[in-house]
Amino acid sequence: MSCSQAPPEDGDGGGGGGGGTVRNAAYFTDLAWEAFDEGDYTTARNRFTSALGKDRHYVPARTGRAWSNIELGFTGLALSEFEQAVNGDSIITVNGETQVADTTVINGDSTHVPAWYGIAFAAHAQGVGSPSSFEDQMLRTINAGNQALVRGGDGYTYERMSLITSRRLRAVLAAAYFSIADYEASLNQVDVVRPTNEINPSDVNFIAELLREIEILMIGMEQ
């Protein structure tokens, strides 16, 4: 994944509709997911943008656009969008004056589980691709990942993307904890995913064995 320049945003997203169809944020979001499921992530992104043009606080559209950016390789932009989905648009303009908005309640599920997953995955990818911010991004991964697990629970699968699961998230968390040398926390994640593993913290080869197990889990994520 890369942080290259984002593609231009499309105002209407190409969504059709017969007479009487309410072309609101939900309508364009549904169209966007249709394109996403077909692997047309650019069209999906444009349609999510159209949805946000109808309602910039519509969390499903912002989260969907972030996932589209992930697929298009715009990891940094996706990370920003996921965080907006979680926090809302904190800075708004009222009567020409800039002020901080109350973001405790915004449309959609208040727990924003898919967005927390997105932050964790995107931050991890950003850290791997950017040595200068590696540790900060691993800590970001851990914070968001734990938020996702608390809110979504084990056994979670994102209904829109079947590959986004709590099992995969725990593999990423295991890698992130390992990266900051918190080997006990890393092993805890591995134990949940593969409870039959034979890693022994007292073994002289503990760290090497833990790393090998994490590598196996991460390779499994790509399949």
Give mean pLDDT, residues 183-205. 95
Residue ranges per domain, the chain?
1-110
The Cα–Cα gap between 193 and 185 comes to 13
Using alpha carbons, select from 37, 39, 45 the residue that is nearest to residue 15: 45
Neighbours of 203 (CB within 10 A): 12
**Banded pLDDT at 109 (limits 50, 70, 90):** very low
**Banded pLDDT at 223 (limits 50, 70, 90):** low
**Banded pLDDT at 174 (limits 50, 70, 90):** very high
Q: For the chain, what is the radius of gyration of the CA atoms?
A: 19
User: b/e for 11-29, b at 16 or more Cβ within 10 A?
Assistant: eebebeeeeeeebebebbb
**Banded pLDDT at 111 (limits 50, 70, 90):** low
Note the pLDDT of residue 222: 62
Element (H, E) at 75: helix 75-87
pTM: 0.80
DSSP symbols for 10-65:
PSSTT----TT---SHHHHHHHHHHHHHTT-HHHHHHHHHHHHHH-TT-HHHHHHH
**What are the φ and ψ backbone dihedral angles of 58, each rounded to 5 degrees?**
-80, 100
- Which long-range CB contacts under 8 A does 126-129 form with residues at least 24 apart? 126/1, 126/3, 126/75, 126/76, 126/79, 127/176, 127/179, 129/1, 129/2, 129/3, 129/75
Note the pLDDT of residue 184: 96
Q: Does domain 1-110 have CATH number 3.20.20.70?
A: no
